């Protein structure tokens, strides 16, 4: 997959908004307003997880959000405060300074700066391709597990319990969480769920979430819900962030560096997973390298604006997507709305009931569970369905961070498994001279023919070389002594490594000892280049190459035109 070259970072400006679609501008703007309304209380919570002053959670929704919109490529990915990276940061920095102190805030800004440097380095090295090793099945499982994690976590939050990291290990507490939720809180939660569902079902073009949030704030102020047992977000400081360069004493740089690596790994993996999932959902192109530059810019912006590390967020991205946002214009709009809130409206948003927020996030979690795709995997590709289920189980058993690593490993193992045992089969000629697949393996082509054919549909490398060699020898042994040549249909083989090249040379010698020539038909250009590099096109052990199976057969069966 092509991506923006390292030298073209500035040429990727506004990739997440181009091409501009005037007809969609209104929908994107409404989605941005909705994102602001929903992300404000969530980011306040992430600030508390990170040990930062609560207002800094809003700062992640201003300058960093705009920075990613300018330099990132994903049209959907929302980059702001995230629970996973906030938790890693809080656990690391608490040993260095008192949470919420000026020293702590300075450390957090420096951590964001270090993380930005790591993203820039990854961009320069072109490491965005690593996200291609996340299989679609693993992505579906990751998002489904994340959705279930959100559902259970919101129940715990309503009950006033700690949000579980390992959901399945805390599932026994679910009953106690439900009974601990107060009647007013549960009522507000269920009314919000009903209002949001009705709006989506009967008025899909109306920004239902925004209306529900406004109504909840109005009801909270009019009826003083906070005094009746319904918790609200509460007041926080007003004003826009000021731009300052972070500073930290050198003796703690190595400690921050280790934490930055952890944050970088989690943020890069999660952001890539979410960006790719939503790009696939809308049949758009994913640009992982360009998104690395956007994440670098966003974390740099966080470092100089008094915020803390930011990452791609599945929940917030789903919120924008559900609200109809289809470009980064929605995110720029959200940043503008948050800026207005910071200056003028902090008092009103302080009245937002926590139950309303939980209901909105709860429904966003449900939307992350792609039941249709899971059902299709179960019916058509059982092995990939198992990968999806295993990835979702990893989210619930070990946590989101560990599940991202598992998704990478599972995807790579699945790829190796497929290339280790690819489709391969013997070929035989029908009555008209056309080559077709043999139906019963090597024995089906045992006949008094002078030429046999075999097709292998994967690149040859160290893991599958021995299996390939054994299959060829079995095919030769299945024929009688009249066999003079074996032609390999190599149109599906695009590469050789050192191990497979050594195997191929040994195979040439073994077949020559039996009086059987080995030839290739229709090799791709990449394979021809590899054959030249390993000197198969010259010398006494030259491997003959033909443009087609028919040409190879004609050569060995008697007509013998010159090899290609």
Neighbours of 481 (CB within 10 A): 8
Cα separation, 343 vs 228, in Å, equals 29
Intra-chain end-to-end CA distance of the chain, in Å: 31
pLDDT at position 301 is 97
Nearest Cα residue to 133 out of 414, 480, 386, 324: 414
Q: What is the pLDDT along the chain (564 residues), one digit of tens a residue?
A: 444 444 454 556 767 676 666 667 888 999 999 899 878 888 887 887 788 988 899 999 999 999 999 999 899 999 999 877 887 788 788 888 888 898 999 999 999 999 999 999 998 887 766 666 767 788 788 878 878 877 887 788 788 776 666 666 666 677 777 778 888 888 999 999 999 888 878 887 676 777 888 899 899 988 888 888 888 877 877 889 989 988 766 667 877 888 888 788 878 888 888 888 888 888 888 788 889 999 999 999 999 999 999 999 888 898 899 888 889 999 999 999 999 999 988 888 788 888 887 888 788 778 878 899 999 999 988 889 999 999 899 888 887 667 777 887 888 888 788 877 888 888 887 767 777 887 544 444 444 578 889 999 888 988 899 999 999 999 998 887 888 999 999 999 988 999 999 999 999 999 999 999 999 999 999 999 999 999 887 766 678 899 998 899 888 886 555 455
Cα separation, 268 vs 245, in Å, equals 24
Contact partners, residue 516, CB within 8 Å, separation at least 6: 476, 483, 484, 485, 486
Contact partners, residue 292, CB within 8 Å, separation at least 6: 119, 120, 122, 123, 127, 128, 268
Please tell me whether the overall predicted TM-score, pTM, comes out greater than 0.85 for this model.
Answer: no
Which string of DSSP letters, residue by residue, matches 519-553? EEES--HHHHHHHHHTTTTSSTTPPEEESSHHHHH
Tokens of 442: 């090597």
3-state secondary structure of 424: strand
Q: Which residues pair with 544 in a beta bridge?
A: 519
pLDDT at position 6 is 46
Phi-psi region of 51 (alpha: psi -120 to 50; beta: other; left: phi over 0): left
CATH number, domain 424-557, options 3.30.750.24, 3.40.605.10, 3.20.20.70, 3.30.230.10: 3.30.750.24
Contact partners, residue 372, CB within 8 Å, separation at least 6: none
Neighbours of 555 (CB within 10 A): 20
Contact between 309 and 112 (Cβ < 8 Å): yes
The dihedral through the CA atoms of 145, 146, 150, 151 has a sign that is negative
Ranges for all domains in the chain classified under CATH 3.30.750.24 = 424-557
């Amino acid at each position: 997959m092509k991506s923006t070259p390292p030298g073209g970072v500035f040429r990727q400006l506004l990739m997440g908004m181009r091409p501009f679609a005037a007809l969609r501008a209104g929908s994107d703007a409404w989605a941005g307003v909705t994102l602001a309304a929903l992300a404000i209380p969530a980011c306040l919570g992430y600030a508390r997880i990170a040990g930062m002053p609560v207002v800094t959670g809003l700062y992640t929704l201003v300058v960093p959000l705009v920075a990613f919109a300018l330099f990132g490529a994903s049209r959907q990915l929302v980059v702001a405060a995230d629970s996973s990276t906030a938790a890693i940061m809080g656990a690391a920095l608490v040993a260095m300074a008192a949470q919420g102190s000026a020293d702590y805030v300075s450390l957090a800004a420096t951590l964001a700066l270090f993380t930005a440097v790591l993203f820039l380095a990854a961009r320069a090295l072109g490491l965005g391709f690593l996200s291609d090793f996340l299989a679609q099945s693993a992505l579906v499982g990751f998002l489904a597990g994340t959705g279930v994690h959100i559902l259970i976590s919101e129940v715990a939050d309503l009950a006033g319990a700690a949000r579980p990291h390992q959901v399945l290990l805390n599932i026994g507490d679910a009953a106690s969480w439900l009974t601990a939720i107060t009647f007013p809180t549960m009522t507000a939660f269920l009314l919000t769920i009903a209002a949001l569902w009705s709006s989506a079902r009967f008025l899909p073009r109306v920004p239902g979430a925004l209306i529900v949030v406004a109504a909840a704030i109005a009801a909270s102020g009019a009826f003083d819900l906070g005094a009746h047992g319904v918790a609200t977000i509460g007041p926080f400081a007003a004003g826009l962030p000021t731009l300052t360069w972070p500073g930290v004493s050198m003796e703690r740089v190595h400690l921050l560096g280790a934490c930055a690596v952890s944050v970088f790994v989690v943020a890069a993996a999660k952001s890539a997973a979410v960006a790719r999932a939503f790009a696939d959902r809308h049949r758009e192109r994913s640009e992982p390298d360009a998104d690395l530059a956007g994440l670098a810019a966003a974390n740099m912006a966080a470092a100089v604006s008094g915020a803390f590390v930011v990452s791609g967020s599945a929940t917030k991205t789903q919120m924008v997507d559900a609200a109809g946002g289809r470009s980064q214009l929605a995110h720029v709009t959200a940043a503008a709305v948050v800026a207005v809130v910071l200056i003028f409206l902090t008092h009103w948003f302080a009245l937002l009931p926590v139950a309303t927020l939980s209901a909105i996030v709860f429904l966003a979690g449900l939307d992350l569970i792609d039941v249709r795709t899971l059902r299709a995997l179960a019916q058509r590709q059982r092995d990939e369905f198992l990968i999806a289920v295993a990835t979702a189980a990893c989210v619930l058993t070990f946590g989101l961070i560990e599940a991202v690593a598992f998704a990478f490993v599972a995807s790579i193992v699945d790829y190796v498994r497929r290339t280790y045992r690819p489709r391969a089969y013997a070929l035989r000629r029908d009555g008209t001279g056309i080559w077709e697949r043999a139906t019963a393996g090597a024995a089906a082509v045992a006949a008094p023919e002078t030429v046999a054919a075999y097709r292998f549909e994967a690149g040859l490398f160290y893991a599958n070389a021995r299996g390939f060699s054994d299959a060829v020898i079995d095919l030769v042994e299945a024929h009688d002594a009249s066999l003079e040549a074996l032609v390999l249909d190599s149109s599906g083989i695009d590469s050789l490594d050192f191990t497979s090249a050594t195997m191929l040379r040994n195979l040439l010698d073994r077949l020559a000892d039996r009086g059987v020539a080995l030839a290739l038909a229709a090799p791709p250009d990449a394979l021809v280049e590899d054959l030249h590099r390993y000197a198969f096109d010259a010398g006494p052990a030259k491997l003959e190459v033909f443009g087609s199976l028919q040409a190879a057969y004609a050569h060995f069966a008697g007509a013998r035109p010159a090899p290609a």
